[in-house]
Amino acid sequence: MATELQDGERPEHRGYVAAVDQGTTSTRCILFDHSGRLVAIAQREHRQHYPRPGWVEHDAAEIWRNVARLVPQAMAQVDAEPGDVVAIGIANQRETVVAWDRHTGVPVGHAVVWQDTRTADLVDALAADGGTHRFAEACGLPLTTYFAAPRMRWLLDEVPGLRRRAEAGDVLFGTIDSWLVWNLTGGPDGGTHVTDVTNASRTMLMDLRTLDYSPQMLEEFGIPRACLPEIRSSSEVYGTARTVVPGARIGAALGDQQAALFGQTCFSPGEAKCTYGTGGFLLMNTGTEITRSSHGLLTTVAHRIGDEPPAYALEGSIAVTGSLVQWLRDNLGLISTAPEIETLARTVPDNGGCYFVPAFSGLFAPHWRSEARGLIVGLTSFVTKGHIARAALEATAWQTREVVEAMDADSGLRLASLRVDGGMTSNNLLMQTVADVLDAPVVRPMVSETVSLGAAYAAGLAVGFWPDTQALRRRWHRAAQWDPTMDPATRASGWKDWQQAVQRTFGWIRH
Amino acid sequence: MPGPIQSIERAAAALRLLAAAPEGLGVVELGTALTLAKTTAHGILRTLVDVGFVEQAEDGRYRVSEDLADLGRPRIDANDLRAQAVNWADSLASRTGESVRLAVLAEGRALVVHHVFRPDDSRQELAVGTSLPAHACALGKVLLAWSVGGRRGARLPALTQRTVVDPAVLRRTLAAVREQGWALDVEELLAGTASIAAPVRDRGGLVVGAIGIDGESERLVDTRGRPRAGLVPAVRQAARSVSRGLGARGA
């Protein structure tokens, strides 16, 4: 073994859990030690394919190659050998669909990514007969292009011969977690075809109450059961890796946002976190009872540990947060790196009356307006690029408030403080603004890579590296806290301005 | 007084020519314009490439580099630096049990650009944006040790009885910091508090910041004022990890 035993370290505490965070733009492998500390990190971006307007694709083979390369890279940083990896946990971009040949392991075309809107007509046709909420009772989700099942149906309809091969079991379907577990466990040579309850809860095919595929939903979407992965718990050993880290047990798979909720140790009802990445995702644990939303939130599974009852969650997603900063960098050239947005925004003391609603592909929670489009309002000759930068950051803060208010209304609880994580938490101005507009403290935990940490925690639990969720809770520490300082009148008038700006985005695309 | 140095004059002339040629210039064109032998022109260009003022494109032509235009600007945006450092700052706080700060030199002081709380969940205030007297803390000593043209002869105010106020003593201390690769302050900024810091380097090897821990001196140093075992290596490792993220070689 390459890892040396340090003073006071117990033999059963040595080794690392490897977390694979397979995200929308990049893949990361992070190693955590028994204290839950990040000890190594390797990252690589993958190509985004935009073959037509509204289409977004990834090459699943490229993603798998990246995983196979990154895990050994991270291990090399701490001289770890395969025997030092006690478990592998996977967290993945959700709702992205891959289909592949079971005999060769070759993907059928590109993976269709969660941002892809090619299924708009299909979704409209399904919604014409009973409205967008006709399946909410079973799966907790509205009919939109966001979820996986319409994408599977689209592939089955559009790729010649695919339906026949899927029915025969020659082609397998799955979300990215299924693709990675199948490849890690041997691929064509006996790979395990599974998914977890959190990923399955984003397909529209799983019944939230039974945690199994709903025969009704399979029929509505016309998807043959034979091609779908078996639904398992989020934290359990799915199998043993036969490649990359031969012999390591694969102990967890979770959708990335549920992984972040797990990594923030939000194990009790009422505990919530918001992850700021490309988009923003606020999830609240609602316990073992299914909570339905009447304010535009999604009902989803938070996690399931082994044979324990599942925990459910309410989710509010914001489509555009970090991607707005990228847009200012790449499309307008206002900044040369994403963190410079803070430098630019601090050149002015306020937004100068300018508001920016980034409804680039419509608005998600709580509005769900697919026909809305983005706007910048309140422009005068006084407004500079500094004001635009500030308005862009404030947009993330105001959208957080919209989702928090919906969450409070649905859960009947008032969020006392907000736990945050993700890349944008390194932006101090943004975090202060979120605290200001929420009028609540914003708290960042010691490990801001909570997506990876959650996957590692769940995998470590499955193999007994950590005994229980209490032990994980003890590892959560506050790394930073931002307290509200904005005066109530400014907050109230800003909130009013923001809501007015949002109203103006509605109905831009005419059907 | 010696006369002008010919090679510098030639390099300056070459830079002016290159800056005026957006398409870039080849060795022969440059040599002709400056009436230099091809080997001399080539030598000047290679040297300018080595110091980073000129770039050679794939087509073989030479152009002035972006670095040259950015000479007067800070090498890295402080917010960029923080984004690169977050993970390693967290790990350092978690490993040492102390609070972590990341600082850059601004107007001769150590400006805190990132702060991680001591991981005991006690009430702490975010110190981002505060600036510390550089001569009195480990972060500042690191920044001064590798700064060019630091303010000589500036007054060194005493913050505690232990603050170094003699410029000659500070110079010797900074030389020792450069030698050992890390800095220490024991109750020089604040009674009862000590700090340890190490340099963060960019891809060119320049020190662009300092990262370190601070806490009760009893926890950080022994009775003889020496850092407790493990703390210096942890700080230096975090500094190296951040530097590696910035592209520093051999970090």
Residue B52 belongs to domain with CATH number: 1.10.10.10
Say what the ipTM of the complex is: 0.78
A38 contact B CB<8A = yes
**A338 and B83: CB-CB below 8 Å?**
yes
The minimal CB distance from A446 to the residues B79, B80, B93 is found for B93
- Tell me which of B69, B93, B120 is where a domain ends: B69
C-alpha dihedral (A440, A441, A445, A446), degrees to nearest 10: 170
Q: Which residues of A touch B82 (CB under 8 A)?
A: 339, 426, 428
Can you spell out the DSSP letters for B156-213?
---SSTT----HHHHHHHHHHHHHHT-EEEESSSSTTEEEEEEEEE-TTS-EEEEEEE
Can you spell out the DSSP letters for B34-57?
TT--HHHHHHHHHHHHHTTSEEE-
Nearest-CA distance from A491 to chain B in Å?
22
List, as ranges, residues 179-208 from B with C-beta within 8 Å of A: none
Contact B183, B200 (CB under 8 A): no
On whether both B16 and B139 belong to a single domain, the answer is: no
B116 contact A CB<8A = yes
Nearest-CA distance from A234 to chain B in Å?
26
- In this predicted model, what pLDDT tens digit does every residue of A5-53 receive, in sequence order? 454 456 667 899 999 999 998 999 999 999 888 889 999 999 989 998 8
Q: Which residues of B touch A448 (CB under 8 A)?
A: 86-87, 90
3-state secondary structure of A250: strand
The answer to whether residue B62 sits within a structural domain is yes
Largest pairwise CA distance in chain A: 68
pLDDT at A447: 83
- In this predicted model, what pLDDT tens digit does every residue of B27-44 receive, in sequence order? 999 899 889 899 999 999
pLDDT greater than 60 at residue B152: no
**A38 and B82: CB-CB below 8 Å?**
no
In a mutagenesis test of the B interface, which of A477, A482, A485 is the best target, namely the one with the most B β-carbons within 10 Å? A477
List, as ranges, residues 463-482 from A with C-beta within 8 Å of B: 477-482
On whether both B41 and B86 belong to a single domain, the answer is: no
Nearest-CA distance from B201 to chain A in Å?
18
The answer to whether residue B16 sits within a structural domain is yes
* Helix A450-462 vs helix A256-263: crossing angle, to nearest 10: 80
Nearest-CA distance from A427 to chain B in Å?
7
On whether both B63 and B89 belong to a single domain, the answer is: no
Q: Which residues of A touch B121 (CB under 8 A)?
A: 477-478
Domain carrying residue B49: 6-69
Q: Which residues of B touch A35 (CB under 8 A)?
A: 94
Give pLDDT tens digits along chain A (511 positions).
344 445 445 666 789 999 999 999 899 999 999 988 888 999 999 998 999 888 899 999 999 999 999 999 999 999 999 999 999 999 999 999 999 999 999 999 999 999 888 998 898 888 888 888 888 888 888 888 889 999 999 999 999 999 999 999 999 999 999 999 999 999 999 999 999 999 999 999 999 999 999 999 999 999 999 999 999 999 999 999 999 999 999 999 999 999 999 999 999 888 899 999 888 999 999 899 898 888 889 999 999 999 999 999 999 988 889 989 999 999 999 999 999 999 999 999 999 999 999 998 888 878 888 788 999 999 999 999 999 999 999 999 999 999 999 988 888 878 888 999 988 999 999 999 999 999 999 999 988 789 999 999 999 999 999 999 999 999 888 999 999 999 999 999 999 999 999 999 999 987 5
3-state secondary structure of A95: coil
On whether both B219 and B123 belong to a single domain, the answer is: yes
On whether both B212 and B110 belong to a single domain, the answer is: yes
- What pTM was estimated for this model as a whole? 0.81
The answer to whether residue B251 sits within a structural domain is no
pLDDT at B251: 55
pLDDT at B69: 66
On whether both B25 and B123 belong to a single domain, the answer is: no
Residues above pLDDT 70, as percent of chain B: 92
Q: How confident is the model at residue B1 (pLDDT cuts 50, 70, 90)?
A: low
On whether both B126 and B105 belong to a single domain, the answer is: yes
Q: How confident is the model at residue B53 (pLDDT cuts 50, 70, 90)?
A: confident
Q: Which residues of A touch B112 (CB under 8 A)?
A: none
Please list, residue by residue across A121-137, b when 16 or more beta carbons sit within 10 angstroms of its beta carbon and e when fewer do. ebbeebbeeeebeebbe
pLDDT at A127: 86
Question: Any idea how long chain B is?
Answer: 251
On whether both B54 and B176 belong to a single domain, the answer is: no
- Tell me which of B14, B44, B69 is where a domain ends: B69
**B124 and A481: CB-CB below 8 Å?**
yes
On whether both B118 and B216 belong to a single domain, the answer is: yes
**Helical residues (DSSP H) of A129-243, grouped into ranges:** 136-139, 148-158, 162-167, 176-184, 197-200, 215-221
Q: How far is CA B220 from CA A89, A345, B134, B187, in A?
A: 36, 38, 20, 11
The answer to whether residue B1 sits within a structural domain is no
On whether both B226 and B195 belong to a single domain, the answer is: yes
**A37 and B77: CB-CB below 8 Å?**
no
Can you spell out the DSSP letters for A68-82?
HHHHHHHHHHTT--G
The answer to whether residue B250 sits within a structural domain is no
pLDDT at B45: 92
Q: How confident is the model at residue B183 (pLDDT cuts 50, 70, 90)?
A: very high
Q: Which residues of A touch B247 (CB under 8 A)?
A: none
Residue with tokens 């950015």: B70
**B116 and A479: CB-CB below 8 Å?**
yes
pLDDT greater than 90 at residue B96: yes
pLDDT at A2: 41
Nearest-CA distance from A479 to chain B in Å?
5
The answer to whether residue B35 sits within a structural domain is yes
The answer to whether residue B47 sits within a structural domain is yes
On whether both B65 and B86 belong to a single domain, the answer is: no
What is the total count of domains within chain B? 2
On whether both B102 and B165 belong to a single domain, the answer is: yes
Cα B66 from Cα B63, distance rounded (Å): 9
Contact B102, B200 (CB under 8 A): yes
Nearest-CA distance from A76 to chain B in Å?
14
The answer to whether residue B152 sits within a structural domain is yes
The minimal CB distance from B87 to the residues A41, A477, A482 is found for A41
pLDDT greater than 80 at residue B153: no
A342 contact B CB<8A = yes
Question: Any idea how long chain A is?
Answer: 511
**A446 and B116: CB-CB below 8 Å?**
yes
> What's the CATH code of the domain at B87?
3.30.450.40
